[in-house]
């Protein structure tokens, strides 16, 4: 018990207990529904689900997300889920989906359908990679999964935690989309993080605010309802704390009087019941970026398909060929979200992690090292997965999800618009205040990294490289490229 207490103090109370803790991820606010202890646990094909009709056809079974692919392997006997008495199928699911254990973040707010089993003593564990989010509740009945399909965006699954001869990932639609198609997901099937003022039971304090968290959120509004481990940069934040029991109302974080109403959690959870003892702050930062990046990719995808579908039907009614130029009002429908995507991709409005010269952020696990190691690198050894963690998340502020299949699956002409705008910004043609945080050095570095490592770049990019004497060699995922200025 003494050792456990020391672990608690080292990892949690030294982190920055002036604040609170944060609530929850895509897979975290799931409204999935469990029925019985065996068999069907996911509600499907009952009630209205947005985007079910053409051109999106969200309920289509034609999926190629990681979980759908894994289920095909299970059906064919090419893969097997292993069951462990203590953790059920969790470790095997993470292994087969290539989701690292060190991505674990712990949330004690009651935001899953298994809310009764979530508390500060038994937080919910979340794991993620570039395409998948996995949620696990202590002694829960199901593993909750959000898996991103390149075309359809977030697809929701449940895996019954009861041992079975042939465990099956069951697609969940109705209950999940009630929470996961909302303003916080930009109106499309997606994922979100929430930060709340939690009580000692893990519920949201009465009359208190909550916040949707992304890379633009000030740290003082993050992590309410979450555990956070590591060095947090010295700024006030909301992790590792609850609202004092005598507090009847909580003010906004800007009101310094509210800080006195927050108290540090004093009781440790049993770390031995989790796959890892950490809720790494660097994993939290990546999670905050990635969730809304996924949503913006899906939003741009959907808006483009809907706009083109609408115009095609109008052309058919008017007897006009589809080869004609798109009207301005149709282009605006997808260019607006595509422009939002460009700004988010380049971290245009990223909240500062610390003041200049302030204490850097550092994780408590191997997450940062392992995450960076997975990056494709140019001839100078640079990668979009390299961290900064002083004033911003990444050293080269351009999202690594530009390499994702979801990004590559953006339909034309939206994909062409995004690439064109990226080139305008990175080449320095766009010097608008919106991208003022991007220095000339950063723009040049990002441009060179992408020219060296990103497959499928438009001819416009190749022409720019030739005219500016940038020698490029397109690299495979694990090879090195050679770039010279």
- Whether residue 425 is contained in a domain is answered as yes
Rg for the chain, CA atoms, rounded: 23
At 473, the pLDDT band (50, 70, 90 cuts) reads low
- Whether residue 152 is contained in a domain is answered as yes
- Whether residue 361 is contained in a domain is answered as yes
Q: Domain span at residue 232?
A: 1-17+195-266
> Does pTM surpass 0.85?
yes
3-class SS of residue 170: strand
Diameter over CA atoms, the chain? 79
Query: Are residues 290 and 371 located together in one domain of the fold?
Result: yes
Residues 114, 120, 124, 128: is their CA dihedral positive or negative? Answer: positive
Query: Are residues 89 and 12 located together in one domain of the fold?
Result: no
Helices and strands counted in the chain (H then E):
11, 13
CA-wise closest residue to 350 among 184, 233, 213, 253: 213
Element (H, E) at 393: none
Query: Are residues 103 and 208 located together in one domain of the fold?
Result: no
- Whether residue 472 is contained in a domain is answered as no
CA-wise closest residue to 50 among 257, 266, 273, 306: 306
Q: Which two tokens stand for residue 256?
A: 């310094």
Query: Are residues 349 and 237 located together in one domain of the fold?
Result: no
- Paired with 3 in beta bridges are none
How far apart CA 468 and CA 240 sit, in angstroms, is 51
Q: Which of 142, 167, 192 is the last residue of a domain?
A: 192
- Whether residue 474 is contained in a domain is answered as no
pLDDT score of 172: 87
Query: Are residues 1 and 100 located together in one domain of the fold?
Result: no
- Whether residue 485 is contained in a domain is answered as no
Average pLDDT, whole number, for the chain?
85
How far apart CA 172 and CA 42 sit, in angstroms, is 5
Query: Are residues 232 and 172 located together in one domain of the fold?
Result: no
Peptide bond preceding 289 in cis form (omega within 30 of 0): no
Q: Which two tokens stand for residue 305?
A: 């398909």
At 147, the pLDDT band (50, 70, 90 cuts) reads very high
Span 149-163, pLDDT tens digits = 999 999 999 999 999
Q: Which two tokens stand for residue 443?
A: 């723009």
Query: Are residues 253 and 350 located together in one domain of the fold?
Result: no
- pLDDT mean over 384-408: 97
- Whether residue 158 is contained in a domain is answered as yes
Contacts 24+ apart (CB under 8 A), 215-221: 215/285, 215/288, 215/289, 215/292, 215/344, 215/347, 215/350, 215/351, 215/393, 216/349, 216/350, 216/351, 217/288, 217/351, 218/253, 218/351, 219/351, 219/353, 220/19, 220/253, 220/254, 221/195, 221/253
- Paired with 88 in beta bridges are 84
3-class SS of residue 90: helix
Span 215-248, pLDDT tens digits = 999 999 999 999 999 999 888 999 999 998 755 4
Query: Are residues 250 and 296 located together in one domain of the fold?
Result: no
Query: Are residues 315 and 260 located together in one domain of the fold?
Result: no
Span 343-394, pLDDT tens digits = 999 999 999 998 666 789 999 999 999 999 999 999 999 999 999 999 999 9
For 130-134, 249-253, 339-343, which range has the lowest pLDDT when averaged over its residues?
249-253
Helices 281-318 + 328-345 axis angle, to 10: 170
Residues 6+ apart with CB under 8 A from 233: 219, 353, 354, 358, 359, 360, 361
Span 199-217, pLDDT tens digits = 999 999 998 999 999 999 9
Query: Are residues 233 and 337 located together in one domain of the fold?
Result: no
Query: Are residues 300 and 371 located together in one domain of the fold?
Result: yes
At 482, the pLDDT band (50, 70, 90 cuts) reads very low
Q: Which of 150, 167, 192 is the last residue of a domain?
A: 192
| The pLDDT of residue 6 is above 60 | no
Q: Which of 223, 239, 266 is the last residue of a domain?
A: 266
- Whether residue 479 is contained in a domain is answered as no
- pLDDT mean over 122-135: 97
Q: Output DSSP code: residue 438.
A: S
Domain count of the chain? 3
At 93, the pLDDT band (50, 70, 90 cuts) reads very high
Query: Are residues 286 and 382 located together in one domain of the fold?
Result: yes
CA-wise closest residue to 28 among 128, 151, 139, 163: 128
3-class SS of residue 125: strand
């Amino acid at each position: 018990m003494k050792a456990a207490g020391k672990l608690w103090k080292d990892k949690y109370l030294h982190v920055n207990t002036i604040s609170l803790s944060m609530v929850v991820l895509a897979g975290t606010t799931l409204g999935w529904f469990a029925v019985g202890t065996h068999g069907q646990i996911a509600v499907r094909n009952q009630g209205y689900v947005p985007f079910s009709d053409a051109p999106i056809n969200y309920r289509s079974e034609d999926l190629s997300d990681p979980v759908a692919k894994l289920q095909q392997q299970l059906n064919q006997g090419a893969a097997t889920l292993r069951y462990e008495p203590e953790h059920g199928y969790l470790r095997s699911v993470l292994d087969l989906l290539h989701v690292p254990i060190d991505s674990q973040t712990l949330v004690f707010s009651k935001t899953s359908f298994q809310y009764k089993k979530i508390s500060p003593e038994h937080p919910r564990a979340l794991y993620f990679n570039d395409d998948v989010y996995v949620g696990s509740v202590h002694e829960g009945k199901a593993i909750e999964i959000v898996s991103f399909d390149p075309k359809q965006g977030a697809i929701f699954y449940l895996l019954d935690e009861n041992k079975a001869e042939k465990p099956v990932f069951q697609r969940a639609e109705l209950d999940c989309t009630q929470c996961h198609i909302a303003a916080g997901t930009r109106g499309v099937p997606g994922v979100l993080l929430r930060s709340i003022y939690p009580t000692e039971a893990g519920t949201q304090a009465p009359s208190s605010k909550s916040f949707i968290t992304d890379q633009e959120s000030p740290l003082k509004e993050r992590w309410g309802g979450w555990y956070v481990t590591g060095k947090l940069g010295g700024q006030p934040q909301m992790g590792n704390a609850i609202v004092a029991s005598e507090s009847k109302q909580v003010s906004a974080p800007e009101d310094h009087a509210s800080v006195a109403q927050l108290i540090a959690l004093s009781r440790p959870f049993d770390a031995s019941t989790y796959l890892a003892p950490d809720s790494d702050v660097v994993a939290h930062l990546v999670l905050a970026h990635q969730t809304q990046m996924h949503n913006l990719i899906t939003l741009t995808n959907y808006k483009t398909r809907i706009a083109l579908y609408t115009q095609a039907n109008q052309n058919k009614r008017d007897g006009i060929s589809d080869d004609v130029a798109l009207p301005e009002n149709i282009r605006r429908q997808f260019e607006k979200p595509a422009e939002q995507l460009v700004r988010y991709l380049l971290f245009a409005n990223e909240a500062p992690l610390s003041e200049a010269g302030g204490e850097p952020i550092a994780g408590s696990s191997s997450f940062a090292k392992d995450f960076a190691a997975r990056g494709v690198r140019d001839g100078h050894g640079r990668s979009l997965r390299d961290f900064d963690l002083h004033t911003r998340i990444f050293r080269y502020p351009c999202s690594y999800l530009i390499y994702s299949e979801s990004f590559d699956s953006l339909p034309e002409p939206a994909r062409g618009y995004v690439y064109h705008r990226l080139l305008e910004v990175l080449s320095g043609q766009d010097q608008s205040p919106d991208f003022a945080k991007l220095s000339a050095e950063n723009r040049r570095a990002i441009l060179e990294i992408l020219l060296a490592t990103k497959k499928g770049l438009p001819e416009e990019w190749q022409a720019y490289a030739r005219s500016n004497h940038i020698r490029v060699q397109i690299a495979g995922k694990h090879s090195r490229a050679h770039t010279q200025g």
